[in-house]
Amino acid sequence: TPLDPASSLPQSFLLKCLEQVRKIQGDGAALQEKLCATYKLCHPEELVLLRHSLGIPWAPLSSCPSQALQLTGCLSQLHSGLFLYQGLLQALEGISPELGPTLDTLQLDIADFATTIWQQMEDLGMAPALQPTQGAMPAFTSAFQRRAGGVLVASHLQRFLELAYRVLRHLAQS
Amino acid sequence: ECGHVSVSAPIVHLGDPITASCIIKQNCSHLDLEPQILWRLGAELQPGGRQQRLSDGTQQSTITLPHLNHTRAFLSCCLNWGNSLQILDQVELRAGYPPAIPRNLSCLMNLTTSSLICQWEPGPETHLPTSFTLKSFKSRGNCQTQGDSILDCVPEDGQSHCSIPRRHLLLYQNMGIWVQAENALGTSMSPQLCLQPMDVVKLEPPMLRTMDPSPEAAPPQAGCLQLCWEPWQPALHINQKCELRHKPQSGEASWALVGPLPLEALRYELCGLLPATAYTLQIRCIRWPLPGHWSNWSPSLELRTTER
């Protein structure tokens, strides 16, 4: 049975998480804007075929819906998702000189957020014994694929963050 | 090489004694059999050299300066040759103090540069080359246990501040930070701070603006001012509270404070003021409810209330 989620999570943790999500959303939007302005790659819907061929994985948050929130599962999925996006963004490295700093900031902020989640899981005794290991990442074999991959990863990430934000806000307000 | 000087320690505490010895080799040509060795500190000859002839024929003179009161001086080994003083070798002497404990270490997270800037007071002059290093480590708990070390931050020469770049930081985790000062006479360390970089964030204030005149908007009432402010962009993701202060431009009135106010106001009406009076207004914000530092006050906005 799901724990009473709100009570076991410190308010400062939740407020920090909300702040970190907003920061990452801002970083992600900056990446999307630059990809659009520089390469006219503005709409992930135009890259569906490419997405299938690249096999970009999704990060589920199925344990997080507010009606039946399973705290351990939700935090674990949140961390795994962040860990996945760290890997995907790493795979995009060398995307282009103009986007390098924006990508670095995004990676640093995601890594920070993942650490915040992981350490809270440890504090609550929920953390698995071992840190997750990165699975196979898509191979972006051309500059275009890295840029298009950037558009796809950024849009996935924004959706993932939107979900995470709703969950965290729900927890912070309950 | 005719002469060679060696010293007990080239760097001593100011006022401490220092002992030096000079050896003049027998095969140093053009010399008398038993040249008299003289010592000169800076430009002054120093009495008290004790000279002896060693078994291998070399001449050795030893001198102890009871109190070295120069922070920097040159001790020369000389001898008279013909009618002139000849310098055969020289050593630089330094005197000073070990570094005091650096004090008042404080840090601010700067979102413009995305770096943690720490500053400290180095303490009194040591008169010696003294290096300062900002040391830090990541910590899970409250800095009692040391996690990964962070790369030492070495300030530019003579500076008492250093910036730890974003890539070395975990913004939402505790880190232990202290300053280490070191010179030839010793090492000292400041007390350790334990902080999360984001908890010492210092923001830039919003930008105060006058309201653009608009036909739909009602003009301000007497004794009221209409203004708006735009948040500082790099901190948009941070929940903040703000406060406004105002005072008549003329006269000795002190600032009146209004707050808490939201981070952004597209239209704000400030009332209860004197009619037909020019006011100066400023605003500042702080990260809230999470910890942070107040921003500086914004640049002033000057507005005038309407007649009655």
pLDDT tens for residues B67-87? 999 999 999 999 888 778 889
SS3 at position A167: helix
- At residue B258 the predicted structure's pLDDT band, cuts being 50, 70 and 90, is very high
Interface of B with A in 221-250 (CB under 8 A): 236-239
Return the pLDDT at A65.
Answer: 76
Return the pLDDT at B31.
Answer: 63
Q: Could A19 and B290 be called an inter-chain contact, meaning their C-beta atoms sit closer than 8 Å?
A: yes
ipTM of the complex: 0.85
B289 preceded by cis ω (within 30°)?
A: yes
Q: Identify all chain A residues contacting B166, using CB atoms and an 8 Å cutoff.
A: 105, 108
CA–chain centroid gap for B303, Å, is 40
Q: Identify all chain B residues contacting A127, using CB atoms and an 8 Å cutoff.
A: none
d(CA B23, CA B4): 5
Average pLDDT over residues A84-95: 92
Q: Could A115 and B173 be called an inter-chain contact, meaning their C-beta atoms sit closer than 8 Å?
A: yes
Q: What angle do CA A97, A101, A104 make, to 5 degrees?
A: 120
Contacts (Cβ under 8 Å, ≥6 apart) of B154:
B131, B132, B133, B134, B162
Region of poorest pLDDT, from A12-16, A56-60, B99-103, B198-202: A56-60
Query: Does the pLDDT value for residue A78 go beyond 80?
Result: yes
Q: Identify all chain B residues contacting A125, using CB atoms and an 8 Å cutoff.
A: none
Of B112, B79, B166, nearest to B295 by C-alpha is B112
Return the pLDDT at A103.
Answer: 95
How far is CA B19 from each of CA B22, B78, B88, B97, rounded to the nearest angstrom? 10, 16, 18, 19
Q: How far is B198 from chain A (nearest CA, A)?
A: 9
Q: How far is B173 from chain A (nearest CA, A)?
A: 7
Return the pLDDT at A7.
Answer: 64
Q: In terms of pLDDT, which residue wins out, A2 or A8?
A: A8
Q: Minimal Cα distance from A119: which residue of B?
A: B140
Query: Does the pLDDT value for residue A68 go beyond 80?
Result: no
Question: Average pLDDT over chain A, rounded to whole?
Answer: 90
Query: Does the pLDDT value for residue A71 go beyond 90?
Result: no
Query: Does the pLDDT value for residue B251 go beyond 60?
Result: yes
Of B106, B16, B104, B101, nearest to B65 by C-alpha is B16
Query: Does the pLDDT value for residue B148 go beyond 70?
Result: yes
Query: Does the pLDDT value for residue B297 go beyond 50?
Result: yes
Which of A11, A17, A24, A119 to mutate to test binding with chain B, by most B CBs within 10 Å of its CB? Answer: A119
Query: Does the pLDDT value for residue B29 go beyond 80?
Result: no
When mean pLDDT is compared over A3-12, A60-69, B53-62, B233-242, the highest value belongs to B233-242
Cβ-based contacts under 8 A for chains A and B: 42
Q: Could A26 and B237 be called an inter-chain contact, meaning their C-beta atoms sit closer than 8 Å?
A: yes
- The four Cα atoms B273, B276, B278, B282 give a dihedral, to 10 degrees, of 30
Query: Does the pLDDT value for residue A149 go beyond 50?
Result: yes
- At residue A1 the predicted structure's pLDDT band, cuts being 50, 70 and 90, is very low
**Residue B141: burial class (beta carbons within 10 Å; 0-12, 13-18, 19+):** exposed
- At residue A131 the predicted structure's pLDDT band, cuts being 50, 70 and 90, is confident
What percent of chain A has pLDDT above 70? 95
Interface of A with B in 14-53 (CB under 8 A): 15-16, 18-20, 22-23, 25-26
Query: Does the pLDDT value for residue B176 go beyond 90?
Result: yes
- Closest partner residue to A16 (CB to CB) among B114, B236, B290 is B290
- Crossing angle of the two packed helices A11-39 and A143-173, in degrees rounded to 10: 150
Q: Identify all chain A residues contacting B167, using CB atoms and an 8 Å cutoff.
A: 104, 108
Question: Average pLDDT over chain B, rounded to whole?
Answer: 92
